[in-house]
Chains A and B, each alone.
Chain A
Amino acid sequence: MYVAVKGGEAAIANAHRLLADRRRGDRAVPAITLEQIVEQLSLSVDRVMAEGSLYDGELAALAIKQARGDVIEAIFILRAYRTTLPRFGYARPVDTGAMLVERRISATYKDLPGGQLLGPTFDYTHRLLDPALAETGEPAPPATRPAGDEAMPRVSGILAGEGLIEEDGALPQDHRTGDLTREPLDFPMQRDLRLQALARGDEGFLLALGYSTQRGYARSHPFAGEIRIGLVEVELDVPELGFAVTLGRIRVTECQMVNQFQGSAKAPPQFTRGYGLVFGQSERKAMAMALCDRALRARELGEDVTAPAQDEEFVVSHCDNVQATGFVEHLKLPHYVDFQAELDLVRRMRREVEEARAAGAADREAAE
């Protein structure tokens, strides 16, 4: 018999009301503003924008506030919001070579044009809790030094001069840039779609996979060829004007991972590359993305696919934390009927096993 049940409306309404109260916290403490979140929790905002796949700091801050600081919940909220907006078009690809650089380092070349610029980094901090931050004092203003106008070419271009590194990833001339927000996923996929999935993928998942490639789960000998963070222009072709219009600038993190490659039937020994490009200041994510991108090129480069990070379907199908949280968290929804059916089934199987055992014992007794 199937019995439909309903109920819980009052409980749900009160739970939401309680949530709003707990979100507010102690009302004697001033409520946090979106400006405060944007300005002072900016790397949380960056992560929510990157994995929410929507560049809008104020909306990401609102999502973080609404989610009580739970970034995956905030990412979910931002993804839901973006589906309500119409698409105006695709911008022209951003030119990271023309970036207004805020940080730029290379682990492969000490002296490179434009220099090593540390920028606002956690590197070289001692990771000791700073009690001064618990007080209200203001930090010193940043130091300055005349910047000059030295160009900052991408490191990949420097290596390319010797022909020892593969070129920037090309796809066939007639390839139409894929968009996984528009077409269902289909495996195997091209590198452009994989990069899109990785760019919005969960930082923790990609970090763990990237780490696994370093520990031997996929042959990988990576160097951080270059990491650069800064502002790039966004331009959109506007048909009614007949030219491209600048819409503004966004902050991105780009990582060029350089991997030694012994060569295969498909490609000579050389340096190959993995690429990462992420919204905001998101260095760990961009590096993990680049490691995963390189590992996922195993088939293309004629390498054996032996490790999870090289398995395109495994990585791409599981890197999205909105999909993952939806499927994991749905388990807490009522499954009363399913479970009753399983309970009946297990009881019946148990009874059958016991009956068979009893029958077997009776047979043995009879035989003795």
Chain B
Amino acid sequence: MHEREGAGDEARRAAMAVLAQAPGDMLDRLWRESGLPGEAEMLRGPETGLVGLRGRIGGGGAPFNFGEATATRATVKLPGGEVGHAYALGRDTRKVRIAAILDALARRPEAAATIETAILAPLRAALAEADARRRDETAATRVDFFTMVRGED
């Protein structure tokens, strides 16, 4: 029932992950600056709902539910027939709509390159930078234990 499988899926999955984690205002700005066409028919959504969140007992055991998160999704169709999907945590319908259009546009080889350089690469860089800063700030709170010198010479 799903679309084609294969190497393309991994790239698509990675792009969707970047778009889902993008700050809405940054994606909006990059999207407008890219000049990519925005015409699309909404087939579903953007709509906000819930995703059940699960952990594992003990960290790696049987799954259990530990709450829900808001999530927004959209499915679009471009005038050329390409279909795009987007899902993201939160309630930013504008962001998810743009992400779905980008997912559809990425089916066109000529648009895929623009999306990569104008949108995905800057988002990825911003995310990596924020993560690195967070890691470095945490690392500064690492405890260095010193062995005290004992009195017996």
Contacts and interface: CB of A to CB of B under 8 A. Distances in A.
Contact present between A and B (CB < 8 A): yes
Interface of A: 49-50, 53-56, 58-59, 82, 85-94, 96-97, 100-103, 110-111, 115-120, 142-148, 154, 156, 167-171, 175, 177-181, 191-193, 195-196, 199-200, 234, 236, 238-250, 252, 254, 256, 273, 275, 277-279
Nearest to A176: B63
B25 interface: no
Q: List 5 A-B pairs, minimum CB-CB distance, nearest first.
A: A242-B2, A169-B57, A168-B58, A168-B61, A246-B17
Given A102-B134, A240-B85, A247-B51, A169 B140 contact: no
Given A55-B89, A168-B60, A250 B69 contact: yes
B21 interface: yes
A195 B135 CA distance: 30
Contact of A97 (B2, B52, B59, B61): B59
Interface of B: 1-3, 5, 9, 12-13, 16-17, 20-21, 47-71, 73, 75, 85, 87-91, 131-143, 145
Given A54-B67, A234-B69, A170 B54 contact: no
A138 to B, nearest CB: 16
| Most A-side CB within 10 Å, residue of B48, B52, B65, B88 | B65
B59 A154 contact: yes
B70 A56 contact: yes
A277 B73 CA distance: 27
Contacts of A54: 50, 67-70
A56 B50 CA distance: 10
A179 B48 CA distance: 21
Contacts of B145: 110-111
| Most B-side CB within 10 Å, residue of A86, A93, A178 | A93
B64 A177 contact: yes
B151 to A, nearest CB: 22
Contacts, number: 242
A147 B135 contact: yes
B1 A248 contact: no
B66 A245 contact: no
B49 A85 contact: yes
A188 to B, nearest CB: 16
Given A55-B68, A192-B57, A195-B64, A117 B138 contact: yes
A234 B75 contact: no
Contacts of A247: 20, 51, 69, 71, 87-89
Contact of B141 (A58, A111, A118, A192): A118
A86 B2 contact: no
A243 B139 CA distance: 34
Contact of A145 (B68, B75, B139): B139
Given A82-B50, A239-B1, A275-B58, 8 more contacts: A55-B53, A58-B91, A120-B141, A169-B62, A238-B85, A243-B2, A246-B21, A248-B90
B143 A241 contact: no
Contact of A196 (B65, B75, B132): B65
B2 A59 contact: no
26 contacts: A53-B67, A54-B69, A55-B67, A88-B49, A88-B51, A94-B55, A97-B60, A102-B134, A110-B145, A119-B141, A145-B142, A192-B64, A195-B66, A236-B71, A239-B1, A240-B2, A241-B2, A241-B85, A245-B20, A246-B16, A247-B51, A249-B21, A249-B89, A250-B53, A277-B55, A279-B66
B133 A93 contact: no
Given A117-B141, A143-B137, A234 B62 contact: no
Given A115-B143, A246-B16, A192 B5 contact: no
Contacts of A177: 54, 62-65
B58 A256 contact: yes
Contacts of A238: 85, 87
Nearest to A115: B142
B52 A91 contact: yes
A117 to B, nearest CB: 5
B136 A145 contact: yes
Contacts of B137: 142-144
B25 to A, nearest CB: 13
A277 B136 CA distance: 25
B138 A147 contact: yes
A236 B56 CA distance: 16
Given A92-B54, A147-B135, A248 B59 contact: no
B153 to A, nearest CB: 25
Given A115-B143, A144-B139, A249-B21, A192 B70 contact: no
B12 to A, nearest CB: 8
Contacts of B91: 56, 58-59
Contacts of A248: 20-21, 88-90
